[in-house]
């Protein structure tokens, strides 16, 4: 297969279980870069949680953040944005305050804000290396993502209630303890399609790699999509092509042996 662009999820895909990009993967990405094949990061993360990884792998390419809610060009300019209203975010915030009593994380553009810091927020801050800002709705005009971090029992209950109430939102678990909330129109595949149109790259000549449920639409949209070997069974069952796990350099294995 001839391919002109590669799209890769970060956590559980590009990063191994030590949250590192292996030297083997870095070497392969450098080779792709020398061949003029863009390696585009696609993640639920914000820009601050992605750009240092892009610098580490020495790539200059667009980035897709918040699972497709924002697309940045090579110079970190926003070229695509899709979010939901501050009023809706406040409704969800009030629901959490009244029924569950734990913090809410609001993401907009390149900002992460929270009403207070608990153990879950502190751990997310340590993982991403980002310190959240105090939440002030008056400074926000559009919300790109809400993240809720709590026990699996709370997350399961909240997911069910919010899905019944908000059909216009995309609500899914990225971990048993993490609930991601975005506008229903936000999809990794939609952002990828937009970017390919801008770059005049046929989708049939693209590849993608991912490991979780919010990657499935991306893996099915690109010319060929590979689910990582560490993906949940529910993801592996939906995606035709599988590669090795993120701890076994699955991206490199697919590029060198499965095309």
> Of 246, 201, 193, nearest to 37 (Cα)?
201
Output the CA torsion 45→121→107→207 (10° steps).
10
Give the chain's largest Cα–Cα span.
55
Cross-strand bridge partners of residue 241: 226
Assess whether 215 carries a catalytic annotation: no
Catalytic choice (9, 11, 211, 217): 9
Residue 57 dihedral angles phi and psi, to the nearest 5°: -90, 5
Place of tokens 């879950």: 120
Q: In what order do the strands lie in the sheet with 78-81?
A: 78-81, 70-72, 63-65, 39-42, 5-8, 206-210, 224-227, 241-242
Alpha carbons 141 and 166: distance in angstroms, whole number: 20
Q: Which residues are catalytic?
A: 9
């Amino acid at each position: 297969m001839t391919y002109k662009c590669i799209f890769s999820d970060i956590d559980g895909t590009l990063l191994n279980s030590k949250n590192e990009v292996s030297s083997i993967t870095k070497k392969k990405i450098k080779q792709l870069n020398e061949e003029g094949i863009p390696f585009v990061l696609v993640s639920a993360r914000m820009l601050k949680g992605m750009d240092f990884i892009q610098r580490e792998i020495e790539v200059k390419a667009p980035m897709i953040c918040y699972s497709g809610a924002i697309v940045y060009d090579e110079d970190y300019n926003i070229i695509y944005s899709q979010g939901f209203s501050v009023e809706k975010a406040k409704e969800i915030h009030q629901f959490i305050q009244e029924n569950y009593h734990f913090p809410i994380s609001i993401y907009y553009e390149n900002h992460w804000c929270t009403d207070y810091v608990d153990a879950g927020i502190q751990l997310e801050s340590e993982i991403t290396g980002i310190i959240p800002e105090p939440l002030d709705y008056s400074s926000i005009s559009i919300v790109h993502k809400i993240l809720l971090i709590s026990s699996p029992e709370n997350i399961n209950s909240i997911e069910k209630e919010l899905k019944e109430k908000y059909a216009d939102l995309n609500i899914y678990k990225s971990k048993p303890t993490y609930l991601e909330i975005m506008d229903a129109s936000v999809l990794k595949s939609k952002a990828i399609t937009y970017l390919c149109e801008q770059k005049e790259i046929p989708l049939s000549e693209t590849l993608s790699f991912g490991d979780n449920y919010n990657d499935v639409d991306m893996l099915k949209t690109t010319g060929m999509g590979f689910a990582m070997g560490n993906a949940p069974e529910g993801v592996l069952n939906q995606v035709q092509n599988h590669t090795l796990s993120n701890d076994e350099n699955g991206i490199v294995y697919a590029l060198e042996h499965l095309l």
